[in-house]
Structure 1
């Protein structure tokens, strides 16, 4: 059946939310050979200015003197006769004294320099040698260590399992991040990182040790913005997918990836909010994410990399960043990054590995994006041949009718179409949800069993 969760098709449905704009931090475009001029396409962002030539940071040239500007002294000063200088005095025997003093100073300097050289000569033992940081008592280098659970300790454990991906097409090259899912070569990333390879293009995976492997696309879904690729490698170290339902606001997190193409970059922050309804991407490939919000710095190129908790477990997949109003592309972190919860990623990745495709849950209604009022309204009329309520679908069986207003899902109020869609897609097909529905002046709770819909 067709996707019945989408709001009624309208031009303004996919307009960026105000006051900020949500955008994917996604593949970092690279310079394109002259023979293949760059053409922005799906998954590509505006190229980042070269290092040292970033927009708005060029130093102004030294200003030329303006017309009529005088470099002479002020009037009345330069016209004066210079004051007469007193005749120079000839030293009385001073010339010889200065020469002798210079010779003495040179001799003393040479002696002192020789003594200092003796002291720092590495081949000579010194009684004044002091302990150096990073050495043991006998002077041997000490192995660096960090407390268990520290950011440095977590980073050391996960970096070998975090990769950067390069997708090369005729239009150009884009990069992103990912991490090892299974020891036999399966790697998880964002769909928009590898979207260009779905029809044509080569994927290369680079590991932290510098090794590179060609990869094949196993499966992808634009609805959840997730993809799985595989390399011919064995004995890889997978990262552990944690329980994202246990994440709370204020938890410390690390974001790992390749922002701006800089591999093995680690940034730290906290979980700043949960259940953010994020709609990222173009209208044709929109992902609805029940996102974890973090202030850990996420930039273009971080897409697909892991968001880790204090135990080194993956609790999210970094996927989108917010931009100030008026920004049309991802320019960098402003402290508002969004990650796909790990529980959703686990379920979707398992489907992609098994079948190459994913599914998502629906209730079988069209939503009216023009409605202004409390809750979310079911469309009153058919749109492009689709009925407002799918006959025989979950909502129809629960007694929901065109024009009804959905006020809450499982006790959580909803006021925008995106909020309801995201809340439903955070569940699984076959799950039951309770919707608070208003028909006219009457309100009631209805139980709806979610139906499965094939993903794009």
Structure 2
């Protein structure tokens, strides 16, 4: 919604159940360097962006390291971040002291403490944060640091994944597994978080305190920033999620530039079509996403979209849940015009929506 703008709110209930425990702060159990270059971003040796495991005998592909070697290589680039509320993890982004972490790890704090793998602890300052992507930069009072290397593309399903962080306050902990899926969305998360879409899924153990830490491939490259897990109490077994490295580095560079990150904004609140909503709106077809509210003067409003409308498609992407809409917007830029298929009663039409930059108050 636009800052201080009134909204048109549909009389439809929001009944999204969030079966998610976001990792994050667990309960308390100025550059003087010549180099401020960001962490390296690596693609595969053949120039493609996808990760790949295997040997070097065909095509010059770098072989995977052993897990102990991966930990030895990457652990010095992973830190623990202490706040007044608890702790989380972070990844060294630049040699001169910038650390990349989750926004929810440092939320509500300006000053933090950063602990390094060599045992040294220094003060840190929150330099920039973006709640939409759940990423933040912390400036640690230390230089000549081992910046991590980030993979430029997405990993492959089945590829080795090693998680390094500080779960439950146990610093410098490593767990391992594989990449279980890509482009994941946490069901029911759209009502509480913009960040839990288009994620990497892994079965490597992620626990509270891992947030902001590293998910690493077999070549010691960061492929994701630990974000969330679904707890066993919800019947889940080894369901962890991470922000992909390409997203993390893109946002980090925007935050370094001016302290903000751009996000495509449609100007509406999406909701799941529950049986109650379907009955209330007399919907015979329950596919799509219901529009709960529309920001007055926003892109959706200008395109004629109204509360109670059903959005079934954006571009070539069919929508079946609010998270689908958020994921579709994550892939687009402010200023881009997208074709949006809507259904109102028995009438279906396609309208062009010119996306805007998300107002800061929407974070």
Bin for the TM-score computed over the shorter chain: 0.7 to 0.9
How much does 1:311 deviate? 2.7
TM-score, length of structure 1 as denominator length: 0.61
Specify which of 424, 428, 438 is matched with residue 343 of structure 2: 438
Q: Are the equivalent residues in 1 in contact too, given 2:8–2:295 (CA < 8 A)? A: no
- Any unmatched runs of 5+ in structure 2? 30-62, 279-285
Instruction: Summarize the alignment of residues 23-172 of structure 1 with structure 2, pairs less than 5 Å apart.
Output: 23-31=21-29, 149-167=65-83, 169=84
Aligned to 1:395: 300
Q: Are the equivalent residues in 2 in contact too, given 1:360–1:452 (CA < 8 A)? A: yes
State the Cα deviation string for residues 322-356 of structure 1 (Å, max 9, x = none): 024569xxxxx830011112222222222322323
How much does 1:439 deviate? 4.4
Larger radius of gyration: 1
Residues 306 and 426 of structure 1: CA distance in aligned 2, closer, same or farther (over 3 Å): farther
Residues 438 and 311 of structure 1: CA distance in aligned 2, closer, same or farther (over 3 Å): farther
Specify which of 345, 350, 353 is matched with residue 448 of structure 1: 353
- Any unmatched runs of 5+ in structure 1? 32-146, 328-332
Counterparts of 1:8 and 1:354 in 2: how far apart (Å)?
36
Aligned to 1:425: 330
Residues 211 and 344 of structure 1: CA distance in aligned 2, closer, same or farther (over 3 Å): same
Counterparts of 1:280 and 1:204 in 2: how far apart (Å)?
34
Aligned to 2:281: none
Aligned residue pair count? 316
CA-based RMSD of the aligned residues comes to 3.3
Counterparts of 1:437 and 1:409 in 2: how far apart (Å)?
9
TM-score, length of structure 2 as denominator length: 0.75
Counterparts of 2:308 and 2:147 in 1: how far apart (Å)?
49
Counterparts of 1:206 and 1:414 in 2: how far apart (Å)?
43
How much does 1:445 deviate? 4.7
Greater strand percent: which structure? 2
How much does 1:230 deviate? 0.5
State the Cα deviation string for residues 224-250 of structure 1 (Å, max 9, x = none): 211110012222121122234x33322
Residues 398 and 251 of structure 1: CA distance in aligned 2, closer, same or farther (over 3 Å): farther
Residues 403 and 10 of structure 1: CA distance in aligned 2, closer, same or farther (over 3 Å): closer
How much does 1:451 deviate? 1.1
The answer to whether residue 193 in structure 2 is matched with residue 193 in structure 1 is no
Counterparts of 1:205 and 1:7 in 2: how far apart (Å)?
45
Specify which of 267, 275, 280 is matched with residue 183 of structure 2: 275
Counterparts of 1:368 and 1:303 in 2: how far apart (Å)?
27
Counterparts of 1:325 and 1:405 in 2: how far apart (Å)?
33
Identify the range of structure 1 (273-282 vs 402-411) with the bigger mean alpha-carbon deviation: 273-282
The answer to whether residue 294 in structure 2 is matched with residue 378 in structure 1 is no
